[in-house]
Chains A and B, each alone.
Chain A
Amino acid sequence: MSERQVALEVLRYNPETDREPRLQRYSVTCREEWVVLDALNHIKESVDPTLSYRWSCHMAVCGSCGMMINGEPKLACKSFLRDYEGVIRVEPLMHFPIERDLVTVIDDFMAKLARVKPYLIPKQAKPVGEGEYRQTPAELKKFKQFTLCINCMLCYAACPEYGIIPKFIGPAAISLAHRYNQDSRDGGRDQRQEEIAATEGVWECSFTGACSEVCPEHVDPAAALQQVKIKSTVDWYRKHLMPWMEE
């Protein structure tokens, strides 16, 4: 089994003791197959127990360990050391306030997620006793990819608009709204649209596609945004130019 020495520069910030963030360098012996998270765990265990970061599943599904690795938003549990040369720089996700070290404050996303009503608003209420709604594999496929969002926040860290206009609802929240809008069982689009079509909704997106590029689950938030924009535009025309359609 092969090992190598890896140098990491990790952003440190403790609001109680530090005036501003700083980079701390660690040089540790790592196994070849390790991910960046393994290296951080090794540092925490054997070098510096004060280092703080979030992690849990180590299989890219809990969404805890999003961080900037050499300037790119990544899950630390899926960033292999073998893919990096030289010093690896590890920082908290961009565009979020730093709580401490690599831990960010994600209140903003949590509030925005709730605002877009990311839950099924049934088209037709049906008692549980009457069994499941029918939904064909083709109908499922229409929204399935948007269900795969693990709320890891990488897309927010990558999004240039969110960086400039923090009120922007952002890629993940819009994708999840779109996920329900596209669900054959759902009838809640109008309610969600009020949030999404508002000024800080989809119109802020300049469609750089950075969100889709960084998504570790291959969700395509950019596509969701584009589809929502088109629907919002159609809604506008209906309302203002074809009011008779509103019936």
Chain B
Amino acid sequence: MAGAGTVIQAQGVDIMKVKMTINGEKKVFEIEASEKLADTLRRYGYTEVKIGCRSGDCGSCTVLFNGKPIRSCLKFTAQAEGAYIETVKALNKDGIHPLQKAFIEAGAVQCGFCTPGMLLTAKALLDFKKKPTEGEIKEALKGNLCRCTGYKQQVDAIMKVVNNK
């Protein structure tokens, strides 16, 4: 991570190059030092990363950073040199992911804005814990706010995946 980014000058603004792996593909992004990861990802076409509050409260911008959920609206992109990033599109690389299928079947998606963050947090939980309890699912999801569903459908969907494992 040392020496992250080559600094070049473009129109009076320092531009850094940052390398990371996104959904399995190696990428080099040109960024300004002040840029947040959510903005960089969206600027490069990863619009599945949603920006809600920009203060780390809502969880819409959740991505997996080396396998763990983070708030990409708070993270400076310059601190992501060498990181392995997963957006929700990483889930359906080989067809629909069981979590996505369960979300659809349980009616856990309404407006859909929180769904990428919810799915990624759920994926990380199941990666770390094969059989989480309902309480552990609620605990993991508590920072991903949903203003449509009331949360029951998401918890039910994840429980369904857990019970089918």
A binds B: no
Partner-B contacts on A (CB < 8 A):
none
Question: Which B residues are within 8 Å of any A CB, using their own CB?
Answer: none
